[in-house]
Structure 1
Amino acid sequence: MNQASNYQKSKVELRRGLIQTRRSMSVGEWREKSDRICTLLQSSPLFTQAKTILAYFSFRQEPDLSPLFATTTHRWGFPRCVGESLYWHSWTPGEPLNTNAYGIKEPLPQAPIINSLEVDLILVPSVACDHRGYRLGYGGGYYDRLLSSPEWSTKPTIGIIFDFAYLPQLPVETWDQPLQAVLTETSSCVFC
């Protein structure tokens, strides 16, 4: 087995174990840690200075940011998966949502599209992040493709994870794009 396939195997095993740990949290623990993340995020300069923020709807017990979505000081955007790309649409609480093929909630196709020029911050869902800012996603490459494109590569990014998923080092591929910051329920660490 070559090194590339060893990396892929270790990423798959690491992803599986971390998702299992995350899903084994009680609803109370998940809610409490998610609420702490929201509180820390609200004190982050990257967050407070942003007008348009791209976020995500919690899936498989990812940290839940939904308490923040009601704030009217920010315009919120959420992804729609179309082919191998993410398209961003504005959404406000109460508007209808679809469930995509992965089981993830997303705005309706007719919801207003958000242009990259309008975006001030991207909150990136992650299975894990490391101390260098690299993230482990679900393996589809959606965020790596997005963040490597010229119009998105300069946007501030924060990986949102729980403490147990903040690791010293993750296996990294040439296409992996580091994030500028990582935020957990107990701390935030800015890299750039």
Structure 2
Amino acid sequence: MLNQTKPELRRLLIKQRRSLSTEDWKEKSENLCQNLKQHSLFQQSKTILSYFSFRQEPDLSLLWSNTPKTWGFPRCFEQSLTWHCWQPGDTYEMNRYGILEPHINLPKLKPGEVDLILVPSVACDAQGYRLGYGGGFYDRMLSLPEWNSIPTVGIIFDSAYLPQLPIDSWDQPLNAVCTESNFFDLRV
């Protein structure tokens, strides 16, 4: 797959992910959530940045309820992300990309308050690089000093964990990758 460009690889993997049956998608998402909950990075974190599932990304909603953790979700603002506290029952809205976002009036989170970032990904590789949707939102954020010391976990299904991805100079590697069958801690 390394001979494919990022856009070609992105199209192929999103199509593959969207072809999952609802039952398979839910089962894989549940297993991924269980894997994540068992890792110390997750267990020790009090404030976690997450995302609302889009285009059959792994669904992390099982993590959000009945937990003492504080959750943050992104809003796209110009070329960057702002993070807002959100919990089940709070309001949200759809942005211009068709992605759910927390309501703009919900409290914002600052980098110093965050313990862990769960990064939505199209694919990840064994070096911690991710293939996103091409907007660069996460790479820009993770390149900033106030964000780049916070642990990051790429969230994907097994089929999107690849030996190597094409990378560009601005790509920011992640600290770990979680799938439905494994947790790859890449910090060691």
TM-score range, shorter chain: over 0.9
- CA distance in 2 between counterparts of 1:72 and 1:15 reads 33
- CA distance in 2 between counterparts of 1:78 and 1:149 reads 18
Question: Quick one: which of 135, 139, 160 aligns to 2:130?
Answer: 135
Aligned residue in 2 for 1:146: 141
Gaps of 5+ in 2: none
- CA distance in 1 between counterparts of 2:37 and 2:48 reads 12
Aligned residue in 2 for 1:11: 6
Aligned residue in 2 for 1:23: 18
Aligned residue in 2 for 1:98: 93
Aligned residue in 1 for 2:54: 59
The aligned runs of 1:156-175 (5 Å cut-off) are 156-175=151-170
**2:64 matches 1:49:** no
The aligned runs of 1:70-109 (5 Å cut-off) are 70-109=65-104
Aligned residue pairs total 186
Gaps of 5+ in 1: 1-6
- CA distance in 2 between counterparts of 1:147 and 1:116 reads 11
How far 1:73 sits from its partner (Å)? 1.6
How far 1:96 sits from its partner (Å)? 1.1
TM-score normalised by the chain length of structure 1 = 0.95
Question: Post-superposition, which runs of at least 4 consecutive aligned residues in structure 1 deviate over 2 A?
Answer: none
- CA distance in 2 between counterparts of 1:159 and 1:51 reads 18
> What do the CA deviations read for 1:134-192 (whole angstroms, capped 9, x no partner)?
00000000000000000000000000000000000000100000000000000011111
- CA distance in 2 between counterparts of 1:161 and 1:22 reads 10
Counterpart amino acid of 1:47?
F
- CA distance in 2 between counterparts of 1:177 and 1:113 reads 24
- CA distance in 1 between counterparts of 2:148 and 2:43 reads 21
> What do the CA deviations read for 1:96-128 (whole angstroms, capped 9, x no partner)?
101000100001111100010000000000000
- CA distance in 2 between counterparts of 1:72 and 1:180 reads 24
TM-score normalised by the chain length of structure 2 = 0.97
Question: Quick one: which of 108, 121, 126 aligns to 2:121?
Answer: 126
